[in-house]
Structure 1
Amino acid sequence: MTIDEFKRWLKKLDEDKDGRICKDELADATRVSVGWFARRKSKHGNRSVDANGNGFIDDNEIKNLAEFAEKHLNVRILYL
C-alpha cells in the first residue's frame, strides 16, 4: 500500500474522529492484524511511535507508525 492509502486506513481507525490514534484504537487495529500477542505489540507500538509521549499518534508521528507496521505487522508501505 502507498503511504496515502496507509493514512486513509488510519483515518478509519480514528473512532472519535479527533485526527489522532489513541492507544486503544491502535490496540484494536493490531488485534485484527496480528491476533495473538496483540496487546503486547500494540503497547510496544504505541511506545515506539509516540515521539512526544502524549498517548496519541498524530500526523507528525505517522511515519513512525508506518515503520512500525512494516517491521511488526507485515505491512508493506510504498513511499511514492
Structure 2
Amino acid sequence: MAMHGVLAPTIGNEADFMKWLKSVDTNNDGHISKEELQKVLKGQKFWFPGLRAGRALGRADLNHNGVIDIGLKDEVAKLKEYAKFLGINIPRSQE
C-alpha cells in the first residue's frame, strides 16, 4: 500500500535498513519504541502515525516487551515487512 504518491517503497539492502533503524533509535538504547516509530511516520507525512506505530509494534514486538529490539533478527524482519507494507522510504547507501 503506497502512500502520498510513493509508487514503490525504497527499502534498500539489509545494511541500509539497519542504518535506518539505528537512526530511528534516537536515544541509542538498542530498542525502537512506539514514540520513535511515530516520529518517523509523522516526518514522512503518514496519516495516523500513532495508530500505525502501534500496529508496527504489535506486529514486530515478538517477545512482548513493549519495544522492537534491534538485536533480534525476527523482530527486525517483521518491522521491515511492515515498513514495506506501509511504503516507508528508507534511503539507500550511496556507496
- TM-score by structure 1 length? 0.83
More helix by share: 1
1:43 matched residue in structure 2: 54
Higher relative contact order (CA 8 A, sep 6+): 2
1:24 matched residue in structure 2: 35
1:66 matched residue in structure 2: 80
Aligned residues: 76
Provide the C-alpha distance between the structure 2 equivalents of 1:6 and 1:22, rounded to a whole number of angstroms: 17
Provide the C-alpha distance between the structure 2 equivalents of 1:24 and 1:73, rounded to a whole number of angstroms: 19
Provide the C-alpha distance between the structure 2 equivalents of 1:27 and 1:70, rounded to a whole number of angstroms: 16
| Counterpart pick for 1:54 among 46, 52, 65 | 65
| Counterpart pick for 1:13 among 24, 27, 31 | 24
Provide the C-alpha distance between the structure 2 equivalents of 1:34 and 1:19, rounded to a whole number of angstroms: 25
- TM-score by structure 2 length? 0.71
Map Cα deviations across residues 17-51 of structure 1 (whole Å, 9 max, x no partner).
Answer: 11111111111112222422211111111111110
Gaps of 5+ in 1: none
Provide the C-alpha distance between the structure 2 equivalents of 1:33 and 1:48, rounded to a whole number of angstroms: 20
Deviation above 6 Å: which 4+ runs of structure 1? none
Provide the C-alpha distance between the structure 2 equivalents of 1:73 and 1:55, rounded to a whole number of angstroms: 23
Gaps of 5+ in 2: 1-11, 91-95
